[in-house]
Structure 1
Amino acid sequence: MHTDSVRCLNPTGFHNMVYHEWGSAENDRVIVCVHGLARNSRDFDELALALSRDYRVVCPDIVGRGESDWLPAGQVYGLPQYLNDINTLLARLNVDQVDWIGTSMGGIIGMSLAALPNSPIKHLVLNDIGAFVPATALARISDYLGDKRFETIEAVEAYMRNTYVAFKDLSDSQWRHLVKHGCKPLDDGSYCLHYDPAIAQATQAAVQDVDLWPVWSAVNIPQLLIWGEESDVLQEETVRKMQANDKLDLYSVPGVPHVPSLMESDQIHRVQQWLRDHRK
């Protein structure tokens, strides 16, 4: 794994976005993997390693998360900033086209880019996110966000296991990986989660139904929709409507709520195989 950063513009200055790469920098087959709202790029380590046999894999920490800078006070965390940052990253990579894997928020970013004219995105994997997100799901997510403090690393793990119930089948070593990269130590010996608490404020202020049908309808490339069948974010009604698109393939994960981890071997294999099947 190679780590680098790119300088991005916000309304009052610049911030650095960190990204991690696997595979050969000379490979012209590039895939970008983008994480969920309160997560970070290291969620993709196992998937990225597997995909690096075929791809140059690039996994950014979206601003305010992981190793990337936080936005200056008063600036807004939202889709316009994320799209601008990703465009800067793609310019740095100097590639004409990419494939995209997006988990939840990362899928919305990818969908939004793929819907635009002359988009560089050629294949799109949406992990438990679709053309409609109900307000009730956003309200649930906003409830667990915030400026949380933990006395021990064990307390962080207990919190994550309780919060990310879709990850229930991960091994203890996988949980330790998530905990290691999902929190950071503070000067007083306690721990906080590895994202800017202002993200919670932005999310809580925007709890309403999110209708992405016009955006998604403009996406005219092959898509794989990964659906945790117990998900409150991607509901069955939305999935069935999206299946009317003949460029969409569905991968259902029974008994799993929002959001499949993409760390389990069967999930990794399914994504890898779909991408290989659609290679031109």
Structure 2
Amino acid sequence: MGTPFVPFTYDGADGVRLAGRLYRPTEGTGAGDGGRGVAVPLVCLPGLTRNVRDFEPVAAHVATAGRTVVAFDLRGRGRSAPADAATYTPAHEAGDVIRGLTALGLARVALLGTSRGGLVGMLIPAFAPGLLAGLILNDIGPEIELAGLLRLRDEFTGRAATDDAATPLPLDWERATALVARRFASIYPRLDAPGFARLARRLLKDVDGRPAPDFDPAITAGLAALTPETRLPNLWAQFDALRAIPVLAIRGGLSDLLSEHVVAMMAARHPDFVEFTVADEGHAPLLEDAASLAAISALLARVDAAGAAR
């Protein structure tokens, strides 16, 4: 979107080169460590196979309002290097994020996590108590719907109802965009042609003018073992540990990973919880519409207010 950012890199504990983007505030008070009168920085973590480009609309909106934004490419995605497949876990990725925030000198942040990024966010307080001042969960919660994971399994393994997921990428962006539009038509039924072109650029990287995958295929290997009988773990204990900070759950109205029932359970268990539904979007909401951006801004204002009262 043309919003200026500073790329940064750092090393994980195992030496893997990791990367991200730092968006400096363009107006207002700036950002720091969440002290009195200071805008708490926003940290953005993408989904399972996604990257920092997913947060360009959020970064443009939030940085313009005077807040620092940091977006991480988790290991094996985007500009972060591939790693040992055994380290593609939310716990290991939480360690990477904490290490990156330490390198940037950020001691207290709000966090926006989409899907896998939200799971990572819920784990961070166990490793770094006091780091999170607020949490935004984009279409993820302490319980995940197995049906949604089975859909993702089928997409990544080529077992979907169409062959699109297993089709080799076209050699030009026009045909790649058409493929993305077919694959995601039911998830984003209101998205227009320019919207699908933006989505294609989020999903895929440009290599000498040609679209290419932007993640290590080993990241999705664990999905192949899922069956309709799989019993999934939950993160209710980790969610309950967030009771002292404001939490916003953004849910896609068409989501098959985060159910309304789970959101209701989250609301019942958390004293400072807000839910926002994005109509006519599935997993995961794109966070580029005005209403979603306003909900994010409202949560960040509550985080700042809570910090000022400390």
TM-score, normalised via structure 1 length: 0.88
Partner of 1:23: 24
- Alignment partners' CA distance in 2, 1:111 and 1:186: 34
- Structure with higher Rg: it is 2
- 2:49 is the counterpart of 1:38: yes
Give the equivalent residue in structure 2 for 1:61: 73
Give the conservation status (yes or no) of the 8 Å contact 1:110–1:124: yes
Note if 1:139 corresponds to 2:150. Answer: yes
2:197 is the counterpart of 1:176: yes
Q: Which residue identity does 1:144 align to in structure 2? A: E
1:196 maps to 216
**Deviation, structure 1 residue 125:** 0.5
Corresponding position: 1:6 with 2:6? no
Higher strand share: 1
* 1:19-70 Cα deviation digits (max 9, x unpaired): 0111249620311011111211111011111111231100011111111111
User: Deviation of residue 139 (structure 1)?
Assistant: 1.3
1:240 to 2:264 alignment: yes
**Residues 103 and 126 in structure 1, CA contact (< 8 A), matched pair in contact too:** yes
- Note the alpha carbon deviations across 1:60-86, whole angstroms, 9 max, x for none: 1111111111114x5441112201111
Structure 1 residues 180 and 121: alpha-carbon distance in aligned structure 2, compared to 1, 3 A threshold: same
For 1:3, give the aligned amino acid: P
Partner AA of 1:228 in structure 2? G
User: In angstroms, what is the RMSD of aligned CA positions?
Assistant: 2.4
- Contact residue 148 and residue 193 of structure 1 kept, 8 A: no
- State the TM-score, normalizing by the size of structure 2: 0.80
Aligned residues: 275
Partners of 2:240 and 2:167 lie apart in 1 by 38
Is contact 1:166–1:260 with CA below 8 Å preserved after alignment? no
| Distance verdict in 2 for CA 1:260–1:181, change over 3 Å | closer
Give unpaired runs (5+ residues) of structure 1: none
Contact 2:139–2:255 at 8 Å: present in 1 too? yes
Superposition deviation, residue 174 in structure 1: 4.2
1:117-175 deviations in Å (ceiling 9; x for gaps): 62300110111111101222111112222686312323322232233344444454443
The one-letter code of the counterpart of 2:205 is K
Do 1:149 and 1:192's aligned partners in 2 also have CA atoms closer than 8 Å? no
Any idea what SS the aligned residue of 1:145 has?
helix
1:249 alignment partner, one of 274, 289, 296: 274
Aligned residue in 2 for 1:111: 122
